Structure 1
């Protein structure tokens, strides 16, 4: 869980310096020009990215709120920022309450964007007026548009697609065109990955996609999401910070495949990797090509939750035949093959080595009385990542929050002025992109001797992690079912956390990916070969935060041989988690008396694996420290 921009604070006074008020005035002039009563600015861009190139960080630019999720709505007299529990504290710090209201979705007396619009639409209806809501249709999904339309039509809200993004229009005006020009994007190099890294050739992937199209009785598949394109074509790029993807669109038909991108940056190796299978066209040719193909009345497979409403409007304009269904690439990508699992094991072992040695270094600095800062910690672990062969980039900006900063779930700008102080907790969440694998892991640790409360909260979070990690489950079990298991012990103690228990992870791709995950909102099954984080936590403003995160892949439980052939009939496969992460927990914060025998057995087995995996990478002194760190 990460941010794209540094965490900064805002105030009514600072808004005059940052120009938020002036930006609002300019945007409201665009509302008047288009006869709009409000304009909706989601987090996502034209590729529905969670992580955005700087040029597409529209909501961040207009509102000042830099969280990686959250939406913005501006009316003629008011403005709102809508955030989920991960960002409650951050939004209060960054958003100027004199200019815009923070709506903490999920709390009583805090509205969702739909509820605000229903109220505004109802007020307009009382005056016998139609409330006109402007949207950029290329920044919301078909599903989101349908939810808006179904919910808002009854309130008299008319949704008005505006192909010109109004935030971009404001950004291109003076004075921002000179002082904050929209950066170039989509111009970084692209590389081709060999089959020994991906485990599956482009030819085989296209065959599987076409087979899936045939089963859906569809002939055309437009692809919007960047990680799907990168996975399908076995290519990687650097157009988005911390994510090895590249700005592009793709189309797959029963006979052809297309890649639409900035073609000037493609070298001969990339062109050869696609030769004879993929037609390479300029980025701007995507919509004309899609319209041309769809105009032949070949059915187009559309995944409503992964395709923009703008694309849908283009297809409707040529009277295309649309088939609703899941994008097969998303499912194929989430089921890692044995080569991908092996690559992830290698990458996460490197990351585990770096995080473990960082923990050792912090302990030694504190014991020696040396004063170190959040920024020092971030520099240390990032330096250790870079020492490893195949390091490409971070997979998100490092979160190193000490004391009260640890309660800001996506705190992402380690501060050189924030020192590690005895009695505080440090939350260190970091990840890396290695050639072939992506990593993400989190540990909380005590600075000096912990308090009884810190030990209690940490042990409860650890119990939650262990309960989830050791859970076996039958094929077909969903992420929402496992999420409840993870939270159960915390709930018994009256504790909870406001984020999901885990997310899917790509292979040398986005650190957050679907469709799998562990959350009350995830109804996707945890299938064989999927990779998920397990990261329960506890956060208390002004006190600090605890999060304990490993990555795991789903494998089949080895079953005992049946006594008779009948014993094996209609037997449902059972799955379990195997860790990719091998980092000790903070023994000073573990209250062994609060662990049951099964939890202790899991922890002892895990520590044996930590020692086995890491020891070959360590010096004798480091091995001795690790042996001691793994005592419970």
Structure 2
């Protein structure tokens, strides 16, 4: 009945080949004269979603999560993952070949320092590491007789016989009517932030696409074009793309204000700038160590720090915010149609995790505006919902019966990016589940209704989401919220709501509000809306105050709520939110779905 255009449910893990691939890699390392290799899940731009040609970690280990590092030595190897993947990784990886280690317990750098034999030469590909990453390894190895060796090529590429080709997705122009500003205006704003530098290397494709009003198709789920830009303080910028990505029309449009060069030319131009003794700004989070080292060796003065574009991009302008609201209204209609359909179909016992995910994608596709998903849908039933970043495959697909279903999903529309999570009970929920669900909801409301002075960071709000869980001796191991782009990455920095969220929140920043609770082996709960920082008027305030506007429009599962646990203020917030959802979505729904929504958003 339903199909998927934008996601695959194939099991990409290859743990059964892990031992053979590890043996082949070790043979190649021996040929190169090194005793080990650091293998991050990264491409030349440190993207979250990488092209298939850069999925080296997955090819080697079988682990398909979005973050991880493997360290391979002559006699042992380890895979390091964070708390999101401590359940997933052991299921995908050959335990005889790789030890799976929680990065919160031991870092790759510390493990390498403890396990590398004296005199070992450990290689790394400087194109897929930043200078800061290499510095951390070097610091951990200080005092050890272990040498870090930058390699000219990636040894994995030599043994990956069927490695996919590099992507050549078409670069497209993003119109100012959606971007809100012309590329020339954005370039002028960036130059004001360059503070004495001669140029800025733009190594983050999200920053590149935002600044030059471009979008691309090089990776799944995020409409970016992989490439670099060199933005001088004065004169014409230079864009570096594979020529196959550009049509004659696109190239001509770009050449009105920038020089367009081949991807390989960026290294040559940086070396030339180095020979002139220039100061170039590099983004410490995304710039490849190879380019920084090359520039420094040529005589240049690299300045490593935060990419100034990141903050400019994070603060959405009025046009981008209007686009986000339109995208969330459209997306809310699709999600509500799905939830109404699911409420009727799930109790019949004919659904699986995959068929539910396909149905939700179909409802979004029927808007006629869907360009892609913003990440692979997390469609999780029962114990799978307790895995925060579970990805359903044909091998893991569970039938949906009585219990708890969690769906975390998002869409890419030309005018905005969405991300929303709902958890619903199929059948009568247990008392314990309702208690846990309501505590997560209280945390969600705590963030959504927060009022705070300017200068506050996400770290200062993180506890708002956790208080009710803490009072019951519970917690969750992921951040409360991440930034979201404007038809760009669903995970955008530097803003976030987490214990490490030190960036000051400013009007126009879009974030997620997604507290959760996960009971291993039984169920998981996550409730997520996107919110945008806005100015807030407070009577008698002595400082400028801020709060949040909720963008997402979709009902919460009232059958899972224990009203007795909600304060009067929380009940008022929930009733007001549901009234708004009902008012804004109902005109776009058919009669049966409107009727269902009326019941789903009834007053408590």
Output the TM-score relative to the length of structure 2: 0.95
2:595 is aligned with 1:614: no
2:48 is aligned with 1:53: no
2:287 is aligned with 1:292: no
2:140 is aligned with 1:151: yes
| Structure 1 residue 120: Cα displacement | 2.2
Pick closer, same or farther for the CA change 1:247–1:549 going to 2, 3 Å.
Answer: same
Cα deviation, 1:135-188, whole Å, max 9, x if unaligned, reads: 1111112221222222221333321111211111211xxxxx2xxx22123312
Equivalent residue number for residue 174 of structure 1: none
Cα deviation, 1:519-542, whole Å, max 9, x if unaligned, reads: 112211112111100111111222
Helix, strand or coil for the counterpart of 1:62?
Answer: helix
Does the 8 A contact of 1:4 with 1:68 survive in 2?
Answer: no
Equivalent residue number for residue 575 of structure 2: 604
Equivalent residue number for residue 193 of structure 1: 174
| Structure 1 residue 7: Cα displacement | 7.7
Cα deviation, 1:6-45, whole Å, max 9, x if unaligned, reads: 58497xxx84xx4211110111112222332321001111
2:522 is aligned with 1:554: no
**Which residue among 379, 389, 402 is the counterpart of 2:368?**
389
2:418 is aligned with 1:420: no
2:562 is aligned with 1:583: no
Following the alignment from structure 2 to structure 1, what is the Cα–Cα distance between the partners of residues 95 and 167? Answer: 35
Equivalent residue number for residue 40 of structure 2: 42
**Which residue among 33, 54, 61 is the counterpart of 1:63?**
61
2:510 is aligned with 1:510: no
Cα deviation, 1:170-211, whole Å, max 9, x if unaligned, reads: 11xxxxx2xxx2212331212111111000100101111112
Helix, strand or coil for the counterpart of 1:230?
Answer: helix
Pick closer, same or farther for the CA change 1:302–1:406 going to 2, 3 Å.
Answer: same
Cα RMSD, aligned residues only = 1.9
Equivalent residue number for residue 256 of structure 1: 236
Helix, strand or coil for the counterpart of 2:548?
Answer: strand
Helix, strand or coil for the counterpart of 1:419?
Answer: coil
Helix, strand or coil for the counterpart of 1:503?
Answer: strand
Equivalent residue number for residue 163 of structure 2: 182
Does the 8 A contact of 2:78 with 2:100 survive in 1?
Answer: yes
Helix, strand or coil for the counterpart of 1:539?
Answer: strand
Following the alignment from structure 2 to structure 1, what is the Cα–Cα distance between the partners of residues 12 and 171? Answer: 36
Does the 8 A contact of 1:401 with 1:414 survive in 2?
Answer: no
Following the alignment from structure 1 to structure 2, what is the Cα–Cα distance between the partners of residues 131 and 31? Answer: 12
2:471 is aligned with 1:492: yes
**How is 1:27-426 mapped onto 2 (pairs within 5 angstroms)?**
27-106=25-104, 110-121=105-116, 124=117, 129-171=118-160, 177=161, 181-213=162-194, 216-254=195-233, 255-367=235-347, 369-413=348-392, 415=394, 417-422=397-402, 424-426=403-405
Deviates most, 147-156 or 48-57: 147-156
Cα deviation, 1:248-304, whole Å, max 9, x if unaligned, reads: 111100212011112233124422432321111111111111211232122111232
| Structure 1 residue 414: Cα displacement | 5.2
| Structure 1 residue 616: Cα displacement | 1.6
- Which structure shows the higher helix fraction? 1
Cα deviation, 1:467-517, whole Å, max 9, x if unaligned, reads: 111111111111111112211221111111111111111100011111111
Following the alignment from structure 2 to structure 1, what is the Cα–Cα distance between the partners of residues 346 and 95? Answer: 39
Where in structure 2 are there 5+ consecutive unaligned residues? 1-5
Equivalent residue number for residue 480 of structure 1: 459
| Structure 1 residue 5: Cα displacement | 7.8
Following the alignment from structure 1 to structure 2, what is the Cα–Cα distance between the partners of residues 489 and 133? Answer: 47
Following the alignment from structure 2 to structure 1, what is the Cα–Cα distance between the partners of residues 33 and 247? Answer: 47
Cα deviation, 1:220-267, whole Å, max 9, x if unaligned, reads: 111111111111111111110111011211110021201111223312
| Structure 1 residue 547: Cα displacement | 0.8
**How is 1:518-537 mapped onto 2 (pairs within 5 angstroms)?**
518-537=497-516
Deviates most, 299-308 or 533-542: 299-308
Helix, strand or coil for the counterpart of 1:523?
Answer: coil
Equivalent residue number for residue 595 of structure 1: 566
How many residues were matched structurally? 596
Helix, strand or coil for the counterpart of 1:290?
Answer: helix
Cα deviation, 1:585-609, whole Å, max 9, x if unaligned, reads: 1111000000111211111111121
Pick closer, same or farther for the CA change 1:61–1:7 going to 2, 3 Å.
Answer: same
Cα deviation, 1:575-628, whole Å, max 9, x if unaligned, reads: 111111011111110000001112111111111211121112112332221111
